[in-house]
Structure 1
Amino acid sequence: MELAIVLGLLGFEPAGKSRLNQLLPRVTCEGCTAFRDAVIKGNQLMLQLFALFCEKGMHEKFKFVHVILTDGEDNKSQTSLSEFLEYQKLIQQKLPPNILQTFYIGVNVENNNTVKQEMSAILKCSGKSASYYPISSNQINDIFQKIQMQIGIRVQEQGVIIENNQARFALRQQTYQPVVSMQVNNYIVLFTLDVSGSMSDHWYKVCSAVRSFLDTLGSNDLVLGITFNDTVQVLTATQQQQAAKKTQQTSTPQRTQQRTQSSQPQRQIKGVERTENESSCCQIF
């Protein structure tokens, strides 16, 4: 199976063509929080993609970035905390050092002792590759910018002050530039986002932060979006599968008496379309 097709089935999309900006605002925040199940799902997809890249000799070209945001303790996962911790240790063994950075973001959880204890245990078994940021909802965009800096994108701020007799205004302009380094990395960014009922008040801030993050990624970077409440959903993979089913349905030739004669041109057209799609998808590499 072609690499581009496998990427689509897993849910990974080129950053410049990702539909997350359209999909995330449509999400309804409701239900509980299956935090651990969602993180493990993201890790499983990373391992599958890494194994595929190893087969293709591409594993040294990419770095994985896993951004996980929640605003409460896990109350729905089938995975226990002890099982989750064991799985995190497995990730450290399966992936080479420095290929994965994980960022846990806790929104408005500073007074939640259960979250504090669980995150402390998670960080201990995740090593230096994981960071945890407890923030308020007003800091969501700021923390996404901080993550951009840590993975290799620098935020430059230039201030301009406009002053007259009545008022004094400070304007701030931000530009994003890659940090200069000897080696250029392509990034695979997974957004694993809580969409439980308590997220409804600040979901629009999350959508805005993700949109700004995507705007700073390069044409060779890949992204994937996971949402979780009572269940875990890979948004982009679901869309890919629906599109594939729709294509199969619309391309099925009608059963007529002239089927033998008419099916040959249809197969030729399908073959041309498939070749064009595959070549355009593979251009990201």
Structure 2
Amino acid sequence: MELAIVLGLLGFEPAGKSRLNQLLPRVTCEGCTAFRDAVIKGNQLMLELFALFCQQGMHEKFKFVHVILTDGEDNKSQTSLQDFLVYQQFLQQKLPPNILQTFYIGVNVENNNTVQQEMSAILKCSGKSASYYPVSSNQINDIFQKIQMQIGIRVQEQGVIIQNSQARIALRQQTYQPVVSMQVNNYILLFTLDVSGSMSDHWYKVCSAVRSFLDTLGSGDLVLGITFNDNVQVLTAKQQQAAKKTQQTSTPQRTKSSQPQQQIKQTERTGVDSCCCQIF
């Protein structure tokens, strides 16, 4: 099977052609948080892509980066914390060192002891390539810029001040360039983003941060987005269109019976469950 076809099946798109910027603002934040299920789904896609690149002899040309953002504790995953930790160890065995960098971002969770304890356990099983950043909602864009620098993209700021006797204006311009220019790596960027109900107040900040991040990527980089609340959704244009059709079809049936919607949700959850169970 051709490389382009496989990439399409997995959902990855070239950064310059990615529709993630258009898809994310259309997402409605609602429901609970299936954090562990979403991370496993994302890492499974990374493993499949890595195996494909190994077959093509391309695996050394790419850096795999997984950015995961949530603002609350997991209250919906089918995967237990213990099984998730086992999976993290499995992932370490399957991927060579320094192939995958994982960045966990916790928004407004500094006082949530459950989240802090769970993240501490996850980091212990994730090796040196995983980092965790608890931030406020106002720091979302800043932490995305920090991640850019850590993976090898430097943010440079230039300031200009224009003034006269009546006014003073400060202008700031940001430019992006690789930190190391001797060796050029392409990036595989996977954004796994919480879209539970509590994210609604700062979702626009997440969309803005992702958009700025994508603007720094090159034509050879690949991008994919995953959202999660009660369910895990891989964001592709085709799936978004299918979801809209399903919603339009099911809307008139709400007054008659809620059973069709329940069946749809159960089917989606079963799909996530089967993905998670394959690794154990």
Give the TM-score band, short-chain normalised: 0.7 to 0.9
Q: Residue 259 of structure 1 corresponds to which residue in structure 2?
A: 254
SS of the equivalent of 1:98 reads: coil
| Residue 2 of structure 1: how far off its partner (Å) | 1.3
SS of the equivalent of 1:36 reads: helix
| Alpha-carbon separation, structure 1, partners of 2:228 and 2:245 | 26
| Residue 161 of structure 1: how far off its partner (Å) | 2.2
Alpha carbons 1:15, 1:219 under 8 Å: kept: yes
* Aligned counterparts, 1:34-45, within 5 A: 34-45=34-45
Q: Residue 68 of structure 2 corresponds to which residue in structure 1?
A: 68
Alpha carbons 1:220, 1:284 under 8 Å: kept: no
| Residue 195 of structure 1: how far off its partner (Å) | 0.3
Alpha carbons 2:65, 2:101 under 8 Å: kept: yes
SS of the equivalent of 1:172 reads: strand
| Residue 116 of structure 1: how far off its partner (Å) | 0.5
Alpha carbons 2:7, 2:13 under 8 Å: kept: yes
| Alpha-carbon separation, structure 2, partners of 1:36 and 1:274 | 13
| Residue 282 of structure 1: how far off its partner (Å) | 32
1:252/1:145 Cα in 2 relative to 1: closer, same or farther (>3 Å)?
closer
Alpha carbons 2:63, 2:188 under 8 Å: kept: yes
Alpha carbons 2:141, 2:206 under 8 Å: kept: yes
| Alpha-carbon separation, structure 2, partners of 1:265 and 1:108 | 36
Q: CA RMSD in A?
A: 10.2
Alpha carbons 2:191, 2:224 under 8 Å: kept: yes
| Residue 270 of structure 1: how far off its partner (Å) | 36
SS of the equivalent of 2:200 reads: helix
> In percent, how many aligned pairs have the same letter?
91
| Residue 58 of structure 1: how far off its partner (Å) | 1.1
| Residue 273 of structure 1: how far off its partner (Å) | 33
Alpha carbons 1:64, 1:99 under 8 Å: kept: yes
Alpha carbons 1:103, 1:132 under 8 Å: kept: yes
Range 228-237 or range 94-103, more displaced: 228-237
Deviations 1:25-47 (A, max 9, x none): 00000000000000000000011
Alpha carbons 2:62, 2:186 under 8 Å: kept: yes
1:6/1:160 Cα in 2 relative to 1: closer, same or farther (>3 Å)?
same
**Structure 1 stretches of 5 or more lacking a match?**
none
Deviations 1:67-124 (A, max 9, x none): 0000000000000001111111111111111111000000010110000000011111
Alpha carbons 1:67, 1:189 under 8 Å: kept: yes
SS of the equivalent of 1:244 reads: helix
| Alpha-carbon separation, structure 2, partners of 1:31 and 1:262 | 21
Q: Residue 278 of structure 2 corresponds to which residue in structure 1?
A: 283
| Alpha-carbon separation, structure 1, partners of 2:227 and 2:102 | 16
Alpha carbons 2:34, 2:76 under 8 Å: kept: yes
Alpha carbons 1:11, 1:240 under 8 Å: kept: no
| Alpha-carbon separation, structure 2, partners of 1:71 and 1:270 | 23
| Alpha-carbon separation, structure 1, partners of 2:135 and 2:192 | 17
Deviations 1:161-207 (A, max 9, x none): 23344554432211111112432111000000000000001101111
Alpha carbons 2:227, 2:233 under 8 Å: kept: yes
Deviations 1:202-244 (A, max 9, x none): 101111111111110010000110000000000127x279799
Range 179-188 or range 101-110, more displaced: 179-188
Alpha carbons 1:66, 1:191 under 8 Å: kept: yes
| Alpha-carbon separation, structure 2, partners of 1:153 and 1:199 | 27
| Residue 246 of structure 1: how far off its partner (Å) | 12
SS of the equivalent of 2:201 reads: helix
| Alpha-carbon separation, structure 1, partners of 2:279 and 2:155 | 25
1:19/1:165 Cα in 2 relative to 1: closer, same or farther (>3 Å)?
same
Q: Residue 246 of structure 1 corresponds to which residue in structure 2?
A: 245
| Alpha-carbon separation, structure 2, partners of 1:267 and 1:117 | 33
Alpha carbons 2:37, 2:272 under 8 Å: kept: no
Moved over 2 A (4+): 161-171, 240-253, 258-285
SS of the equivalent of 2:236 reads: helix
Alpha carbons 1:14, 1:284 under 8 Å: kept: no
| Residue 56 of structure 1: how far off its partner (Å) | 1.1
1:151/1:284 Cα in 2 relative to 1: closer, same or farther (>3 Å)?
farther
1:88/1:160 Cα in 2 relative to 1: closer, same or farther (>3 Å)?
same
Range 270-279 or range 209-218, more displaced: 270-279
1:73/1:262 Cα in 2 relative to 1: closer, same or farther (>3 Å)?
closer
Instruction: State the TM-score, normalized to the length of structure 2.
Output: 0.84
1:123/1:274 Cα in 2 relative to 1: closer, same or farther (>3 Å)?
closer
